[in-house]
């Protein structure tokens, strides 16, 4: 049985749109920062500053702090799967492909999430509708990447695969969160997750790219402030608010709205021009996500007659 979707109120729509705009602009801000700092350093800034802000929020709200090595071990794994690995892969990928294309490929997170859930959870089996949605998603991603990328493999092809690798990591993070962190307050779980990520990303950036300098250009600091404070710390808190108002099913709409925002900003600010296949691929992927969501089939579903 498909989960019942909540009706989206005007307030929920506003919050959903705001979250989409925030995350859509994050791709541009990361790319701007990469003009001066390396991808691992960019990620270290993102997880480190966001971690401090969220722990500040937790302390101000006097939320219960997690204790025990087991939960902190879970935070470490979650930080790797949901932050350190995907953030790093996508930041490196953005060095070689457009921000708009990165956002399109990022939308496949939901596709891999459905597959991961079907593999690990008995109550998330792959129904016929989900199988069709997943298949459409793969066709869309393959179209966006371009079949020639598989034939003439180069650094751009590797950049696209890096982004796809990030989406797979996100999907596995969803499984891990359900198994280990479901009993925690969302803000505490997010703060702990970012702590686990920072424990890895800060030393890794230092070892691979050198000491993390704070003497950066103003535009770099502005970009870091945006993607660390707004698109990570604040966005996480807004995400859980939207989840409560709109439900998990309607959050699929956010996935669809992020990519157009990133594409437009990339074109305006960076002068990016995506090939036609990227737009066709996104259209197919978006259709697949709507099939997964079940929204397309609601008009054909009949309510049982009352006696």
Q: What tens-digit pLDDT sequence spans the chain (307 residues)? A: 444 455 667 888 888 889 999 999 999 999 999 999 999 999 999 999 999 999 999 999 999 998 889 999 999 999 999 999 999 999 999 999 999 999 999 988 888 988 988 888 888 888 888 899 889 989 999 888 887 666 777 888 899 999 999 999 999 998 898 888 878 888 999 999 999 999 999 999 999 999 999 999 999 999 999 999 999 999 988 888 887 776 666 677 787 889 999 999 999 999 999 989 999 999 998 898 888 877 666 655 555 544 4
17: its two tokens: 């749109």
Looking at residue 302, its pLDDT comes to 53
Burial label for 153, CB within 10 Å (0-12, 13-18, 19+), is exposed
What pLDDT shows up at residue 256? Answer: 81
274 phi and psi angles, rounded to 5 deg:
-85, 150
Sign of the C-alpha dihedral, residues 256, 259, 260, 262? Answer: positive
Distances (CA, A) of 269 to 46, 228, 262, 297: 22, 20, 10, 38
Vertex 176 angle, CA 170 and 178, to 5°: 110
What is the rounded radius of gyration, in angstroms, for the C-alpha atoms of the chain? 19
Type and span of the H or E element at 14: helix 10-33
Distance CA 157, CA 177 (A): 31
Nearest to 156 by CA among 274, 43, 45: 274
CA distance 115 to 241: 26
Residues 6 or more apart whose CB falls under 8 angstroms from that of 93 comprise 102, 159, 160, 162, 163, 166
Lookup: tokens for 209: 């790219």
Cα gap 289→297, rounded to integer Å: 12
What are 13-37's pLDDT values in tens digits? Answer: 888 889 999 999 999 999 999 999 9
Instruction: Evaluate whether 254 touches 14 at the Cβ level (below 8 Å).
Output: no
Rounded CA separation 169/109 (Å): 9
What is the C-alpha to C-alpha distance for residues 66 and 244, in angstroms, rounded to an integer? 23
Q: What is the pLDDT of residue 4?
A: 47
| Per-residue model confidence (pLDDT) at position 45 | 97
The structure tokens 């690990």 sit at 120
Question: How many CB atoms neighbour CB 10 within 10 A?
Answer: 7
Supply the pTM of this predicted model.
0.88
Distances (CA, A) of 113 to 119, 126, 194, 204: 10, 11, 20, 27
């Amino acid at each position: 049985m498909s989960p019942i979707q909540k009706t989206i109120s005007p307030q929920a729509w506003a919050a959903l749109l705001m979250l989409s705009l925030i995350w859509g602009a994050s791709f541009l801000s990361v790319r701007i920062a990469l003009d001066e700092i390396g991808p691992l350093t960019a990620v270290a800034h993102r997880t480190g500053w966001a971690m401090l802000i969220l722990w500040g929020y937790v302390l101000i709200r006097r939320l219960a702090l997690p204790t025990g090595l087991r939960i902190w071990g879970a935070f470490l794994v979650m930080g790797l799967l949901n932050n350190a690995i995907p953030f790093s892969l996508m930041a490196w990928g953005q060095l070689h492909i457009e921000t708009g294309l990165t956002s399109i490929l990022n939308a496949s997170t939901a596709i891999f999430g459905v597959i991961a859930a079907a593999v690990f959870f008995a109550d998330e089996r792959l129904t016929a509708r989900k199988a069709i949605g997943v298949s459409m998603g793969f066709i869309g991603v393959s179209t966006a990447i371009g079949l020639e990328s598989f034939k003439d493999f180069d650094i751009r092809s590797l950049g696209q695969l890096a982004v796809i690798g990030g989406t797979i990591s996100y999907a596995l993070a969803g499984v891990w969160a359900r198994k280990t962190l479901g009993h925690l307050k969302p803000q505490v779980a997010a703060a702990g997750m970012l702590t686990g990520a920072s424990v890895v990303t800060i030393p890794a950036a230092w070892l691979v790219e050198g000491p993390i300098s704070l003497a950066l250009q103003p535009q770099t600091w502005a970009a870091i402030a945006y993607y660390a404070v707004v698109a990570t710390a604040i966005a996480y808190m807004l995400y859980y608010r939207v989840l409560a108002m709109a439900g998990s099913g309607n959050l699929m709409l956010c996935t669809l709205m992020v990519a157009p925002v990133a594409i437009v900003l990339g074109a305006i600010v960076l002068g990016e021009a995506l090939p036609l296949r990227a737009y066709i691929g996104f259209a197919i992927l978006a259709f697949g996500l709507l099939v997964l969501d079940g929204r397309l089939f609601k008009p054909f579903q009949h309510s049982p007659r009352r006696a």
